[in-house]
Amino acid sequence: MKPSETLLLATLAVFSAVLLRFSLDMPYAAAQAFGPGFVPLNLSVATLVLTAAIAGRRLITRRHDSTEAGQGPTAAPPEKPASTGHRAVLAAMVLLGIAVSAMHIGGGVLLPLTLLVWVVSWRLSGHGPVLSAGVAGAVTVCIYVVFNLWLNIPLT
Amino acid sequence: MVDMLADLSGGFAGVLTPENLIIIFVAGMIGTLVGALPGLGPSAGIALMLPLAFGMPTVSGLCLLTGVYMGTMYGGRITSILINTPGDAPAIITALEGYPLMKQGRGGLALGISAISSFVGGLFGLVVLVFFAPMIASYAIFLGAPEYFLLMLLGLSTIVLLAGADLLKALLTACVGVLVSTFGSDYISGHIRFAFVPELIEGIDFVAIIIGLYGLGEVLYNLEHRVVLKLGKPSFNLREYIPGGRDLREAAGPTVRGSVLGTVIGVLPGAGATVATFLAYALERRLSTRPERFGHGALPGLAGPEASNNASVPGALIPLITLGIPGSGGTAIMLGALIMFGLQPGPLLMIKSGDIVWAMIAGLILANLFLFLSNILLIPVFINLLRLIQGHLAGVVVALCLVGAFSLSYNTFNIWVALVFGVIGYLMKKNDYPTGPFILAVVLAPLAENYFRQSIMLGQGDWSIFIERPIALTLLIMILAVFTIGIIGKQVVRRRQTRPH
Amino acid sequence: MQKTTSLITAGLLGLALAGPAMAQDFPTRGIEFVAGYGPGGGHDTMLRAMAKIIQDERIVDAPINVVNKPGGSSAVSMGYLNGHSGDGHYLMSITSSHITTPLTTNIGLTFEDFTPIARLGIDPQLLVVNARGPFQSLADIVAADRVLNVGGTGTATIEHIVAIQLGEATGNSFNYIPFQGDGEVVTALLSNQLDFIITNPGPAVDFFEAGHFKALAISTEARIDAFPDLPTFQEQGYDITLSLYRGVTAAADISDAARTYLTDMVERLSQSDAWRTDYLERNSVVPGFLAGDDFSAYLARTNEVYRATLTDLGVID
């Protein structure tokens, strides 16, 4: 199983396990129909079962594949991980996290947003720092005019 | 019928002043722009224009608001097609089929077809509104919780259609979608589920989810694969943007079916445009001779839902103007606007203030026409704008997504939500987990859950309420038919596929 | 000597004058009206109507700005206002969620953490039936020989509580069904899926005029001007006097000057004709001005009613 799929299934499993724990605090049944805990409880159990089933299936097919691959002389070479791509995504996620934290703490959206667009454009999309700064500036101005001045949404 | 035409021409007489025409035109353009921005849909568009509308005479003010409403429905499709970021919930399907067309360099065609379908859908809905509004409203009220529940179930059964190759993965994402939808206050029991922070008391905002799942998820995916849209150089050759006869013929049937479906479902209070688009999509896929093209830029899958999306606008207005009952978030704010203008929405609205209502309807017809023309003419602008910034899309889309998420409740909480679902969307796309069932479950599951409980309570604990009501029984039979045909159909296909080996 | 006395007198006078002058120092800037829900909602419309009338009628000179702090059934706006404790330049609109949200969640704030300014109006609760149905009076409902279906918005809401109290008062057992909004309740009654509903006047008033619906009782202490022929529950022998309130509150620990200023502002607003015609009548809200400690006491009573109901229903411990 690819690491990204493992991560996805693990995240979903943890998520449903947490909801399962908290749905136990709510009534499962009601006088008529069912209570507020019914859907979360059953669905979180179903989600756990399904993640387990998919993970299990993956493990079985992989074992199956590897035995087959061992027998055949034309075993395909393992897929080369696109390491630069992975790094770009991870960097983007970290950058987004930092930018939103800055918005959260500082209260203003525009400044962190400008810096974010600049860095994304420069480091991840591969434009020069000056051009990227121009793009970031232009985007910020457009957003400020449309959202803040025209629609009165308090971005700052 | 003649009465209604007389009323309508009276309405046109009230609307056809130079100022009103300009207002309707500008309102349509504003609506298109607002609808195109991620996070801002019809509700936000109308609400943001409210202060402006109150400075105007009643008819002009209402023309402004309905023009914006109609415009957001046109606008929602633009960012869906161009950057895979639906501006609002009804535009999700548009992204599902329109964005693949964009990636194939046929974005102009997608925008053109969807504009035409939107126009036809809107026009159909308006015709129905003009001639049959009171009649439809008198029937619609007899639909209650049991019918709504079965309708939601019918919608949920389309998960099988949206599933793609791997049913297990589709079921998993659907289950997670249901879980996500359970957050927040449960009005049936009075409990508040999973409010780990105060912002969760009202649940997770659906629009923040789609901004993350589609918009941010796509950016992350493209960053990894270094996908750069190859759209060529800016060009204003109009022939590039006008759909050919073959494409139009392919889109004709779905547009008509989508129009009918959208009007009918738009009438139902609470169900609204989103459900209509999903059902239209499922219908087209079921009817298609080449269902395997769906998800990779199938024109019927674009045209049907787009038509139903815009047909649902007049549809949602039917209960509003005949009974004073809002059928969607957008019409709920319209209701507030009518009250602020000193009108009394309710069964007597058409009798007491008929002239104003008819002027509003005439305004809607004009808005639909203006919007169609301006949206066709704007296609080259949008396409060329995107060509201009195609190298900088990552930064621009991220910025739009974050600001859009912020605009939902004016704080950073929804940006965090979008971010989390952006990462999940990326992981899902990378590993071929379908997002359709997830989003469908998020929309429909809470409605299904609540209508089911309401039905049982209405029956005082007795389940026979589902088969004693004729419409409910019909829906029940339809659902069984969908499932049977679905399962048999799948096996037939499988047998055909295995035979040549 | 004479001179000194007059100097002292002048000094005292000066001091005495300085008192009111100090009070005039509030507000030092514009007043912010905080809506706990998004643009277009009930809170937003009320505050914008207030702001417009206050400015049109020149009730105060300070500029007024309406801001939306939506989220968490008013929990977000409560947190926001709590962050401005001691500052009188904020006025937040409140209704039942100001009490129910703190009761059903653990946001750590209650109505007591704020300075209640005034109740501006009430939404009385009506018992409404379909005019073509079998029940034409409250007595018919009490005498029904089956369990009746009654609809209202949500669970543990004012509608629900009225239905429960009515059941207790008459000895009937009613089957209460919660709906998501006024519109759905009205539709269900129109098509006879419900036997009667409990609702505020707003969504039903046009249906009375059209002859579709008939109101059988109202939850005020005396008959109201809008429905002079509609008897109260009390008149018919059932002691139910519960109404939804619409009011405003300010941050905790604000100065007396600020409190007086805000109370005076909304009191003069509530006495204006524009407020009565442009807000109250349009939204079918009944006047019910209540300021200061009376309003605080009212909130405390309302809080107890909700707490008791939520506990009985098992929603809270």
Which tens digit of pLDDT belongs to each residue from B50-67?
878 878 888 999 999 989
Report the pLDDT averaged over residues A104-127.
90
- Residue C22, min C-alpha distance to chain B (Å): 36
CATH of domain C30-122+244-312: 3.40.190.150
Report the pLDDT averaged over residues B196-218.
90
Using CA coordinates, name the residue in chain B closest to C277: B342
- Residue A68, min C-alpha distance to chain B (Å): 21
Kindly indicate the confidence band of residue B240, based on its pLDDT and cuts at 50, 70 and 90. Answer: low
Residue A70 above 50 pLDDT?
no
The string of pLDDT tens digits covering residues B9-23 is 988 988 889 999 999
Residue B335 above 70 pLDDT?
yes
Say whether A116 and B399 touch across the interface (CB within 8 A): yes
Residue B182 above 70 pLDDT?
yes
Residues of B in contact with A30 (CB under 8 A): 189, 453
- Per-residue H/E/C for chain C: CHHHHHHHHHHHHHHHHHHHHHHCCCCCCCEEEEECCCCCCHHHHHHHHHHHHHHHCCCCCCCEEEEECCCHHHHHHHHHHHCCCCCCCEEEEECCHHHHHHHHCCCCCCHHHCEEEEEEEEEECEEEEECCCCCCCHHHHHCCCCCCEEEEECCCCHHHHHHHHHHHHHCCCCEEEEECCHHHHHHHHHCCCCCEEEECHHHHHHHHHCCCEEEEEECCCCCCCCCCCCCECCCCCCCCCCEEEEEEEECCCCCHHHHHHHHHHHHHHHHCHHHHHHHHHCCCCEEEEEEHHHHHHHHHHHHHHHHHHHHHCCCCC
Residue A82 above 60 pLDDT?
no
Tokens of B87: 């501006």
Tokens of C178: 């919660």
Say whether A32 and B410 touch across the interface (CB within 8 A): no
Kindly indicate the confidence band of residue B319, based on its pLDDT and cuts at 50, 70 and 90. Answer: confident
Using CA coordinates, name the residue in chain A closest to B185: A36
Q: Please give the pLDDT value at position A156.
A: 77
Residue C308 above 90 pLDDT?
yes
Q: Please give the pLDDT value at position C20.
A: 42
Q: B298 Cβ partners below 8 Å, 6+ apart?
A: B97, B284, B288, B290
**How much is the mean pLDDT over chain B?**
86
Report the pLDDT averaged over residues C32-53.
89
Cα–Cα distance measured from residue C280 to residue B27, given in angstroms and rounded to the nearest whole number: 30
Q: Please give the pLDDT value at position B486.
A: 67
Q: Please give the pLDDT value at position B269.
A: 64
Kindly indicate the confidence band of residue C264, based on its pLDDT and cuts at 50, 70 and 90. Answer: very high
C66 DSSP β-pair partners: C33
Under 8 Å CB pairs connecting chains A and B tally to 176
Cα–Cα distance measured from residue B399 to residue A143, given in angstroms and rounded to the nearest whole number: 8
Kindly indicate the confidence band of residue C11, based on its pLDDT and cuts at 50, 70 and 90. Answer: very low
Residues of B in contact with A12 (CB under 8 A): 172, 176
Residues of C in contact with B195 (CB under 8 A): 72, 105
Q: What percent of chain C has pLDDT over 90?
A: 73
Tokens of B453: 């409980």
Residues of C in contact with B189 (CB under 8 A): 155, 315
The string of pLDDT tens digits covering residues B136-175 is 888 888 888 998 898 888 878 777 767 777 889 999 999 9
Q: Give A 24-53 residues with CB within 8 A of chain B.
A: 26-27, 30-36, 39-40, 43-44, 46-47, 50-51, 53
Report the pLDDT averaged over residues B197-216.
90
| B114: nearest Cα among B286, B206, B241 | B241
Q: Are the beta carbons of B213 and C90 closer than 8 angstroms?
A: no
CA B172 to centroid of chain Cα atoms: 24
Residue C189 above 90 pLDDT?
yes
Q: Give B 237-296 residues with CB within 8 A of chain A.
A: none
Report the pLDDT averaged over residues B482-498.
68
Kindly indicate the confidence band of residue B76, based on its pLDDT and cuts at 50, 70 and 90. Answer: confident
Report the pLDDT averaged over residues B468-489.
81
Residue B307 above 90 pLDDT?
yes
Flag whether residue A11 sits within 8 Å of chain B, measured between CB atoms: yes
End-to-end, the C-alpha distance of chain A in Å comes to 44
Using CA coordinates, name the residue in chain B closest to A141: B399
The string of pLDDT tens digits covering residues B447-467 is 899 999 999 999 999 889 999
Tokens 């009394």, located at residue: B344
Least confident of B212-226, C228-242, C262-276: B212-226
- CB nearest A50 (choices: B172, B392, B406): B172
Kindly indicate the confidence band of residue B418, based on its pLDDT and cuts at 50, 70 and 90. Answer: very high
Report the pLDDT averaged over residues B391-403.
90
Report the pLDDT averaged over residues C30-56.
90
Report the pLDDT averaged over residues A40-47.
97
Residue B219 above 50 pLDDT?
yes
Tokens 């009761």, located at residue: C103
- CB nearest B224 (choices: A88, A99, A116): A88
Report the pLDDT averaged over residues B388-413.
89
Least confident of B72-81, B227-236, C52-61, C282-291: B227-236
Residue ranges covered by each domain of chain A: 3-71, 83-150
Kindly indicate the confidence band of residue C1, based on its pLDDT and cuts at 50, 70 and 90. Answer: very low
- Residue B40, min C-alpha distance to chain A (Å): 10
The string of pLDDT tens digits covering residues A54-67 is 999 988 887 766 55
- CB nearest C72 (choices: B51, B202, B269): B202
Q: Please give the pLDDT value at position B90.
A: 80
Cα–Cα distance measured from residue C160 to residue C199, given in angstroms and rounded to the nearest whole number: 10
Residues of B in contact with C308 (CB under 8 A): none
The string of pLDDT tens digits covering residues C67-126 is 888 888 899 999 999 999 999 999 999 999 999 999 988 888 999 999 999 999 999 999
Q: How much is the ipTM here?
A: 0.90
Say whether A19 and B194 touch across the interface (CB within 8 A): yes
Report the pLDDT averaged over residues A52-79.
66
Residue ranges covered by each domain of chain C: 30-122+244-312, 126-218
Kindly indicate the confidence band of residue A73, based on its pLDDT and cuts at 50, 70 and 90. Answer: very low
- Residue A67, min C-alpha distance to chain B (Å): 23
Residue B184 zone, left/alpha/beta (φ > 0; ψ -120 to 50; rest): left
Say whether C41 and B336 touch across the interface (CB within 8 A): yes
Q: Please give the pLDDT value at position C224.
A: 92
Kindly indicate the confidence band of residue B229, based on its pLDDT and cuts at 50, 70 and 90. Answer: low
Q: Please give the pLDDT value at position B122.
A: 93
Q: Are the beta carbons of B236 and B384 closer than 8 angstroms?
A: yes
Q: What percent of chain B has pLDDT over 70?
A: 93
The model carries a pTM of: 0.88
Using CA coordinates, name the residue in chain A closest to B178: A43
Say whether A96 and B406 touch across the interface (CB within 8 A): no
Kindly indicate the confidence band of residue C170, based on its pLDDT and cuts at 50, 70 and 90. Answer: very high
The string of pLDDT tens digits covering residues B81-113 is 988 888 777 888 899 899 999 888 888 889 999
Residue C6 above 60 pLDDT?
no
Report the pLDDT averaged over residues C144-166.
93
Q: Please give the pLDDT value at position A23.
A: 95
Residues of B in contact with C177 (CB under 8 A): 454, 457-458
- Residue B23, min C-alpha distance to chain C (Å): 21
Say whether B187 and C155 touch across the interface (CB within 8 A): yes
Say whether C38 and B345 touch across the interface (CB within 8 A): no
CATH of domain C126-218: 3.40.190.10
Cα–Cα distance measured from residue B458 to residue B472, given in angstroms and rounded to the nearest whole number: 14
Q: Give A 111-130 residues with CB within 8 A of chain B.
A: 113, 116-118, 120-121, 124-125, 127
Using CA coordinates, name the residue in chain B closest to C108: B198
Kindly indicate the confidence band of residue B313, based on its pLDDT and cuts at 50, 70 and 90. Answer: confident
- CB nearest C73 (choices: B202, B336, B347): B202
Burial (Cβ within 10 Å: 0-12, 13-18, ≥19) of residue A123? middle
Residues of B in contact with C104 (CB under 8 A): 185, 190-192
Least confident of B313-327, C151-165, C303-317: B313-327
What is the three-class DSSP state of B371?
helix
**Can you give the C-alpha Rg of chain B in angstroms?**
22
Q: What percent of chain A has pLDDT over 70?
A: 87
Residue A76 above 60 pLDDT?
no
How many other C-beta atoms can be found within 10 angstroms of the C-beta atom of residue B155?
A: 25
